Amino acid sequence: PQRSDYFDKLRQRMVQHQLRNRGIADERVLQAMGTVPREEFVSKGAQGDAYEDCPLPIGFGQTISQPFTVACQCEALQLQANERVLEVGTGSGYAAAVLSHLAKEVYTVERVPKLATQARATLRRLGYANVHVFSTDGTLGLPAHSPFDGIVVTAGGSQLPQPFLEQLAMGGRIVMPIGEYLGSQMMYRFTKLPDELHVENLGGFAFVPLIGRYGWD
Ligand code: SAM
């Protein structure tokens, strides 16, 4: 219990200093990030750094995104609770766990099979029953489980994959970083409206590359 009290304190401090003070305002996002035990999604050796203001390595050259980045993406999806969400880039499963508090069902896709297996085990152990983990090329979406009210991409792409548009419900949002291969992208929100695809630029971020049929080679 002492150990979990310790992480609880670090988590509440992270929510205040890294999220609230920097402009994250959606109370449901703040509540979710104040609940999900980020220390359970990193290796034992990195648990002490779980609430630091940075991404952390999860193996296979991949990372768990900085808490602020996860919060920005979740907030940008504008979730109310009843949505079906697709996440492309499961990684550790941490962001999927946060999304599971914000939406009804979360479908998440990871291209590295061992990361998918590990994330599935972590999410099951922690009891996140509304998260479904798949291992395939996420740039193809998950046609069998579409339509989605929200699609969030946690790796940087070169373009908006056509399958995402086809699998997005009317009124739905896609939140995705698009830009260079390494380290510099703009985060976009695409909203599907009856007569247009509304596009907003949410600012600069740095993600690992999105690799696949509609991503980088
Ligand atoms: N959301 C994750 C978390 O909470 O730990 C962090 C994701 S990490 C920044 C990006 C992930 O996207 C990596 O695990 C990478 O293997 C994965 N990825 C890259 N291209 C992909 C693709 N086409 N389909 C699915 N996953 C992909």
Q: Rounded to the nearest whole angstrom, what is the distance from the C-alpha of residue 177 to the centroid of ligand 1?
A: 12
Q: How far apart are CA 77 and CA 86, in angstroms?
A: 11
Kindly state the tokens that stand for 22.
């920097």
- Which residues are the active-site residues? 65
Please tell me the predicted confidence (pLDDT) of residue 201: 98
Q: Rounded to the nearest whole angstrom, what is the distance from the C-alpha of residue 159 to the centroid of ligand 1?
A: 16
Please tell me the predicted confidence (pLDDT) of residue 78: 98
Judge whether 162 and 138 are in contact, CB under 8 Å. no
Q: Rounded to the nearest whole angstrom, what is the distance from the C-alpha of residue 196 to the centroid of ligand 1?
A: 29
Flag whether pLDDT at 2 surpasses 70.
no
Listed in sequence order, the DSSP H helices in the chain are: 2-14, 27-33, 67-76, 94-102, 113-125, 162-166
Q: Is the dihedral of CA 208, 80, 67, 49 positive or negative?
A: negative
186 Cα distance to chain centroid: 16
Flag whether pLDDT at 199 surpasses 80.
yes
Which ligand 1 atom is the nearest neighbour of the CA of 212?
Answer: 23
Flag whether pLDDT at 1 surpasses 90.
no
- Check if 89 has its Cβ closer than 6 Å to any atom of ligand 1: yes
Reported in sequence order, the residue ranges of the chain that DSSP labels E, i.e. its strands, are 56-59, 62-64, 84-88, 105-109, 131-134, 148-153, 168-179, 185-192, 197-205
CA distances from 198 to 6, 143, 158, 171, 172 (A): 44, 23, 19, 10, 11
Q: How far apart are CA 178 and CA 189, in angstroms?
A: 11
Kindly state the tokens that stand for 91.
């990684």
DSSP state of 92: T
Please tell me the predicted confidence (pLDDT) of residue 76: 98
pLDDT tier at 182, thresholds 50, 70, 90: confident
46-66 pLDDT, tens digit per residue, is 999 999 999 999 999 899 999
155-171 pLDDT, tens digit per residue, is 999 999 999 999 999 99
- Check if 97 has its Cβ closer than 6 Å to any atom of ligand 1: no
92-123 pLDDT, tens digit per residue, is 999 999 999 999 999 999 999 999 999 999 99
